[in-house]
């Protein structure tokens, strides 16, 4: 397996990888190693990548997850189904949400739904300062959903004012406004964004807005108290899925039976942030938060299916405490504690005339439950000599909850959550510095994947089910070959016991699985005007113990994902960027029948002209109008019944930003 993977990777280096650390006064297409927050830089050995504010400033997207298209090793499932729009994946876990595997945090606050989906559409690009992605299992800070890594998004707090207006293809209209101020000891910032657009396909229309504010007050040099509030709404119609041939011949069509598909999702997020330095060596951070998610969707998947109403109402409450103690210049201890309670109403009903029905088995799902998770970790870091640094950590998590299901007749059934005990997860990171230009790194970590919704509860033996344990490691090198060229390469493995895969909304077990991969990236400042960057990540997956599927690949995992980018400063005020985004196909089922779907090579380009008052941006996506699609197999095991959702064709936009 490893030899095949490495050979395919080396054969693909013509569309290779990347990352970049650039000076603030230069073009900044992508900032990666060395530009991340101090914790990631100092404590996590491996794949830490970041998108800079400069790159985010020129991005205009319907789906916020599209901002991740330049991050090494991130791949996509683009459903294009209204409020169910796009998902991303890393490290050989499905992007379509069938195996929740990555923790999302916005300003350090968890932002995953109960089932693990990442809710990013509450954000606009003009309100994001940076995006960091950590791929691996050695980060001890998080437990729930931190299976293969995490995404950290920081919103803006810089000073200044700007407003930006965008008009583009499919009648897209967008306006974003940001203001950051400082009044004595109070730093405060505000954002408002609105976007409305028709879609590439018929019966596609989105309307979204987001309003937020940040207030941080420095009581003393040692104590800061902050409050962040954000309210967002995303309303969208959906084009539905098409048969394979119709999707290829008429990609802009909507399925006739899907003319009523659509939905709305609302998000509210409120958080308090306290930072206090007891001494120069002892720091404490405390965060508390409340997140509300409400999602309603009307969907029909085929001509013979009924229109379903799907409704979720979720309230998440939590607290996160971190204590950092610099015992000695070469020794540090970190102690973290976190707890979260989720109150979830999850419903699916058959409908007649947009009215829910409770007879004839029309109650597909009517769950009301609480889900509580709490965990703690202790990490010890040491740098005994200038060429060696290491840290080890031990994390433990526990899960509690209560569950009630209501059937067609209105009868209620209470269930108990499985007793998973204390889920223990050791972590370790090692850095070696043989020279100023070379860093060797090794990491190891154990993480866990838990069942969710009804699958986490039972009316029987609460000890009959366990979480899936994931053990992963990575080894690699970061090498500054010369001042203008940086390289990074690594090999990683991750093995899971009794993995859960989502089928029709509920997880089932596929047994033991193995994932292996190779990542490679480069960043080359060719001269003062030209930067070339690229990245490629190859992945192989294998089901090891699931009967007839033993030896097969997991579904929806591309063999590779790659990006190649170029930034050229035509004249001092004009910058031209080109970005190739490539992804291989993948199987649509664990049986590996029907071939692979979803391969694409998309080329995007943009021009940025800096003026004395702001910036003008012209952006063209899918420049060569390549056909690509998301494919789902809705057939029963052993049969193939695919439905297809074509991606956007060529599209363009013009944006004008005014700074004052």
**Which 3-state string (H, E, C) describes 465-524?**
CCCEEEEEEEEEEEEEEECCEEEEEEEEEEEEEEEEEEECCEEEEEEEEEEEEEEEEEEE
Average pLDDT over residues 460-471: 92
Is residue 483's pLDDT more than 90?
no
Question: What's the number of CA atoms in the CB half-sphere (13 Å) around residue 480?
Answer: 14
Pairing of strands 560-571, 530-543: antiparallel
Whole-angstrom CA distances from 587 to 6, 255, 633 are: 21, 24, 9
Looking at residue 498, what is its pLDDT? 86
For residue range 112-134, what is the model confidence (pLDDT) as tens digits? 999 999 999 999 999 999 999 99
Q: Among 135-139, 362-366, 491-495, which is the least confidently predicted range? A: 362-366
Tell me what the mean pLDDT of segment 503-523 comes to.
Answer: 84
User: Which two tokens mark 242?
Assistant: 């098409």
Q: Tell me the average pLDDT across 71-90.
A: 91
Q: Which of 51-60, 75-84, 239-248, 262-271 has the lowest mean pLDDT?
A: 51-60
**pLDDT tens profile 414-465:** 999 999 999 999 999 999 999 999 999 999 999 999 999 999 999 999 998 8
* Nearest CA among 629, 622, 633 for reference residue 252: 629
Look at residue 612 and give its three-state secondary structure: coil
Return mean pLDDT, the chain.
90
Number of H helices, E strands in the chain: 4, 36
* pLDDT of the residue at 57: 86
132 neighbors 50 (Cβ within 8 angstroms): yes
Is residue 95 predicted with pLDDT exceeding 60? yes
Give the residues across from 607 on adjacent strands.
576, 618
Tell me the CA distances in angstroms from 617 to 100, 126, 283, 657, one per residue in order. 36, 14, 43, 8
- Give the lowest-confidence range in 81-85, 299-303, 377-381: 299-303
Tens of pLDDT, residue by residue over 1-46, are: 444 444 443 333 333 333 333 333 333 333 333 333 468 878 998 8
Instruction: Give the pLDDT mean for 474-493.
Output: 93
Q: Does residue 389 surpass a pLDDT of 80?
A: yes
Mean pLDDT of 260-283: 96
- Tell me which residue of 578, 521, 606, 581 sits closest to 20, measured CA to CA: 521
Summarize the confidence of residues 236-246 as an average pLDDT. 94
Cβ contact 519:476 at 8 Å: yes
Token couple for 37: 């927050």
pLDDT: which is higher, 72 or 333? 333
pLDDT of residue 37: 44
71/65 Cα distance (integer angstroms): 11
Give me the pLDDT at residue 16, please: 33
Rounded CA gap, 295 and 346, in Å?
Answer: 10
According to DSSP, residue 9 is labeled H
The pLDDT score that the predictor gives to residue 506 is 63
Task: Enter the tokens of residue 596.
Answer: 């692979």
Residue 352, pLDDT above cutoff 50: yes
**pLDDT score recorded for residue 9:** 39
- Tokens 């591309």 sit on residue: 558
Q: Which helix (H) or strand (E) holds 40?
A: helix 38-43
DSSP 3-state helix, strand, coil percentages of the chain (rounded to 5)?
A: 5, 60, 35
Closest CA to 405 of 420, 416, 394, 395: 416
According to the model, what pLDDT value does residue 24 have? 32
Tell me the C-alpha to C-alpha distance, in Å, between residue 269 and each of 111, 189, 343, 410, 630. 9, 16, 15, 33, 31
Lowest model confidence (mean pLDDT) among 27-41, 94-108, 400-414? 27-41
* Dihedral (Cα; 463, 99, 147, 540), 10-degree rounding: 120
pLDDT, tens digit (0-9, with 9 covering 90-100), for 159-203: 999 999 999 999 999 999 999 999 999 999 999 999 999 999 999
More confident residue, 60 or 109: 109
pLDDT above 80 for 489? yes
- Tell me the percentage of the chain whose pLDDT exceeds 90: 78
253: pLDDT strictly greater than 80: yes
Q: CA-based angle 493:495:500, to the nearest 5?
A: 135
Dist CA 550 CA 552 (whole Å): 6
- Which of 99 and 250 is assigned the larger pLDDT? 250
What is the chain's alpha carbon radius of gyration, rounded to the nearest angstrom? 24
CA distance 142 to 111: 12
Residues facing residue 652 across a β-bridge: 620
- For residues 533-537, average pLDDT: 94
Q: Given this model, what pLDDT does residue 505 score?
A: 59
Flag whether pLDDT at 138 surpasses 50: yes
> Which among 610, 653, 651 is positioned nearest to 54, based on CA atoms?
610
Whether the per-residue pLDDT at 247 is higher than 50: the answer is yes
3-state SS assignment for residue 60: coil
412: pLDDT strictly greater than 50: yes
Q: What are the structure tokens assigned to 118, written together?
A: 């990442």
pLDDT band per the 50, 70, 90 thresholds, residue 638: confident
Residues 6+ positions from 281 with CB-CB distance below 8 Å: 325, 326, 327
């Amino acid at each position: 397996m490893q030899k095949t993977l490495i050979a395919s990777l080396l054969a693909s280096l013509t569309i290779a990888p990347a990352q970049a650390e650039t000076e603030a006064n230069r073009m900044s297409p992508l900032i990666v190693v060395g530009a991340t927050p101090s914790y990631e830089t100092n404590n996590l050995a491996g794949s830490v990548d970041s998108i800079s504010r400069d790159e985010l400033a020129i991005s205009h997207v319907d789906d916020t997850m599209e901002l991740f298209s330049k991050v090494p090793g991130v791949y996509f499932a683009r459903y294009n189904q209204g409020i169910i729009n796009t998902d991303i994946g890393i490290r050989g876990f499905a992007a379509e949400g069938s195996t929740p595997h990555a923790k999302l945090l916005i300003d350090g606050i968890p932002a995953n739904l109960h089932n693990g989906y990442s809710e990013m559409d509450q954000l606009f690009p003009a309100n994001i300062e940076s995006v960091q992605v950590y791929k691996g299992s050695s980060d001890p800070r998080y437990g729930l959903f931190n299976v293969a890594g995490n995404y950290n998004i920081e919103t803006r707090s810089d000073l200044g004012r700007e407003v930006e207006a965008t008009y583009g293809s499919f009648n897209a209209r967008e306006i974003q406004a940001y203001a950051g101020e400082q009044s004595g000891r109070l730093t405060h910032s505000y954002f408002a964004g609105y976007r409305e657009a028709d879609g590439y396909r018929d019966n596609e229309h989105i309307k979204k807005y987001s309003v937020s504010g940040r207030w941080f007050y420095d009581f003393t040099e040692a104590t800061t108290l902050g409050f962040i509030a954000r309210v967002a709404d995303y309303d969208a119609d959906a084009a539905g899925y098409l048969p394979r041939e119709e999707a290829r011949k008429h990609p802009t069509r909507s399925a006739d039976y899907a003319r009523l598909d659509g939905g709305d999702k609302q998000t509210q997020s409120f958080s308090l942030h306290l930072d206090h330095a007891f001494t120069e060596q002892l720091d404490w951070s405390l965060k508390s938060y409340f997140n509300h998610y409400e999602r309603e969707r009307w969907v029909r998947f085929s001509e013979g299916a009924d229109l379903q109403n799907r409704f979720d109402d979720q309230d998440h409450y939590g607290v996160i405490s971190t204590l950092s103690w610099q015992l000695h210049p070469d020794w540090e201890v970190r102690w973290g504690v976190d707890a979260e309670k989720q109150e979830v109403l999850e419903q699916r009903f058959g409908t007649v005339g947009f009215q829910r029905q409770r007879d004839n088995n029309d109650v597909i799902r009517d769950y009301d439950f609480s889900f509580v998770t709490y965990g703690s970790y202790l990490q010890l870091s040491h740098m005994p000599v200038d060429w060696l640094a290491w840290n080890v950590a031990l994390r433990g998590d526990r899960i509690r909850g209560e569950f009630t299901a209501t059937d067609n007749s209105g009868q209620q059934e209470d269930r108990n959550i499985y007793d998973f005990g204390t889920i223990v997860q050791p972590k370790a990171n090692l850095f070696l510095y043989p020279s100023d230009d070379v860093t060797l790194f090794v990491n190891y970590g154990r993480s866990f994947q838990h069942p969710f919704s009804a699958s986490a509860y039972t009316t029987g033996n609460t000890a009959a089910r366990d979480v899936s344990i994931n053990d992963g490691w990575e080894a690699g090198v970061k090498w500054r070959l010369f001042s203008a060229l940086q390289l990074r390469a690594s090999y990683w493995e991750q093995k899971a016991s009794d993995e859960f895969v989502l089928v029709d909304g509920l997880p089932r077990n596929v047994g033991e699985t193995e994932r292996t991969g190779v990542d490679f990236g480069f960043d080359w400042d060719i001269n003062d005007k030209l930067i070339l960057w690229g990245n490629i990540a190859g992945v192989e997956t294998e089901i090891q113990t699931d009967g007839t599927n033993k030896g097969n690949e997991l579904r929806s995992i591309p063999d590779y994902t790659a990006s190649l980018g170029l930034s050229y400063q035509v004249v001092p005020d004009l910058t031209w960027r080109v970005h190739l985004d490539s992804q291989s196909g993948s199987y649509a089922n664990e049986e590996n029948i029907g071939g692979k779907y979803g391969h694409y090579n998309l080329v995007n380009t943009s021009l940025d002209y800096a003026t004395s008052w702001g910036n003008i941006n012209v952006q063209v996506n899918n420049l060569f109008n390549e056909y690509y699609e998301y494919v789902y197999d809705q057939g029963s095991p052993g049969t193939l019944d695919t439905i297809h959702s074509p991606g956007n064709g060529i599209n363009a936009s013009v944006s004008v930003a005014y700074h004052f």
